[in-house]
Amino acid sequence: DPDQSIYSFKFAHPQGMDDYSTSQSGVESYTIPFTARSAKKIVYFANQLLSQQDPTRIDLLQPITTQIDGEVKFVKKYSQPEEFDTVIESVRELIVNGESPSNIMILAPRRGLAKKFIEHSEEREPENVKFQFVSKIEFSLNEQERILLLSLIANPNSILHKRSYIGMTDPTHFSKEINKLKSVYGSLEEVLAQAKKEDCRPVEKRKQQVCERITFLREFLLAHNSEQGLAVVLEELFPIDNEELKSMNSLLQDLTEEGDSVKTVYAKFVDYVRALPETDSIVRVMTPLSSKGLEANHVFIIGCNQGNIPGTRTLEHITDHEHVQEQRRILYVTFTRAIKTLTVSWSRYIPFEQALGHNTARVSSVPRRINGVLMSEVGICEFLEDLNGAVWIT
């Protein structure tokens, strides 16, 4: 499903899938517009998000006919605390009626909003319900670089990881420079094998940077292989006397068992970072990006006001239009995390500081105090304004 492509910061675009399938000889493209996950009503509203982008498209997602109808609720509340309370109470009712907390997911478009929801729930202390913010592990740039080197010791023929390593220090991943080098050498494989700084003109500083990283990588891989002693490799890449890197050393040591090699430990590490914590006793609170690939019987999407969705563009290599389209796809992906029920909510008044920090367009420039808190009036997410069949419950 190309519409599940929501990682433009990794240069993953739906168009890229279509372009590849039509430009490469011998590659066949198949569209399978069916889902065995989401109920019919959930798919119905998710498809409307795709139709907003292109009203003429017909290759929309289809639920398998045996799926249940499901339920979709649209909730609008006066203030954010009321919105949070409504969601908490709905979750509590589900659990009282026998649903496992692990089958419920709260999705917030911003990490800060997710944490505000958690704080509110802890103040309220709902009976039988515990919420926990869950996110994928984040690594510093230095850690990422060394993790990639570890991956290449384990899998030295990985073109993907080599390309990732070369581009990781640049916001555009040196895409223009790599394309220029490919035009000289013929392919990415040949660039990795042959490119050197001396082949660049003195004014081509960025191409020189790329060639320097390629040369370092070639020399590094000549000096290392997966048969090396694991302890030696870990100490070289993640020295325990380095404050920033010692926690990675400790993590990898914890994953190591007798007889493990660089390759087996790296495979364990990949599984470790891909797995998100999940227990039967907590309700997961996550961001849409963290929820990619996951599902739950009951999904609640909170904070669906303008400014949260779509959020502010931060990537330089995409246009404002492309950013809005990706934000729409993120909401589509978020809808399709739900199996049985989906609840979409927003509130007319949110904390003033939150609106300011999120660059949220305010309906009124004059804030007002609600229960002693300075609040700003905001509008609904533009993607939700004209959904056919949506009835907003207040």
Taking the C-alpha atoms of residue 221 and residue 158, their distance in angstroms, rounded to an integer, is 12
pLDDT band at 10 (very low <50, low <70, confident <90, very high): very low
- Cβ-proximal residues to 253 (8 Å cutoff; 6+ apart), any chain: 234
DSSP-based three-state secondary structure for 124: helix
338's CB contacts (< 8 A; 6+ apart) are 38, 39, 42, 70, 295, 296, 297, 298, 299
Amino acid at 4: Q
Please confirm whether the linkage preceding 14 is cis (ω < 30° from 0): no
List alpha helices for the chain, DSSP H.
Answer: 14-23, 40-53, 80-96, 111-124, 141-154, 159-167, 175-185, 188-194, 205-223, 230-237, 246-255, 262-274, 288-291, 320-335, 352-357
Distance between CA atoms of residues 285 and 272, nearest Å? 19
| pLDDT tens digits, 124-141 | 888 888 999 988 777 888
pLDDT of residue 137: 78
pLDDT of 2 strictly over 70: no
Give the pLDDT score at 8: 47
Tens-digit pLDDT profile for residues 260-276: 999 999 999 988 887 76
Whole-angstrom distance, CA of residue 48 vs CA of residue 55:
9
Grouping H, G, I as helix, E, B as strand and the rest as coil, residue 244 is coil
| Distance between CA atoms of residues 98 and 121, nearest Å | 20
Give residue 276's pLDDT. Answer: 64
Residue pair 121/133 in contact (Cβ under 8 Å)? The answer is no
Predicted TM-score (pTM) of this structure: 0.71
Please compute the mean of the pLDDT values over residues 321-329 and round it to a whole number.
Answer: 85
Buried b (16+ CB within 10 A) or exposed e, 137-168: eeeeeebebbbbbbbbbbbeeeeebbbbbbbe
Question: Residue 65: its pLDDT value, please?
Answer: 60
- Mean of pLDDT over the chain: 87
DSSP lists the bridge partners of residue 108 as none
Contact (CB, 8 A) for 384 and 301: no
Instruction: Please give the structure tokens belonging to residue 235.
Output: 């100490």
Q: Which residues of 298-337 are buried (b: 16+ CB within 10 A; e: fewer)?
A: bbbbbbbbbbbbbbeeeeeebeeeebbbbbbbbbbbbbbb
Tens of pLDDT along 14-49?
555 566 556 666 666 656 577 878 999 999 999 999
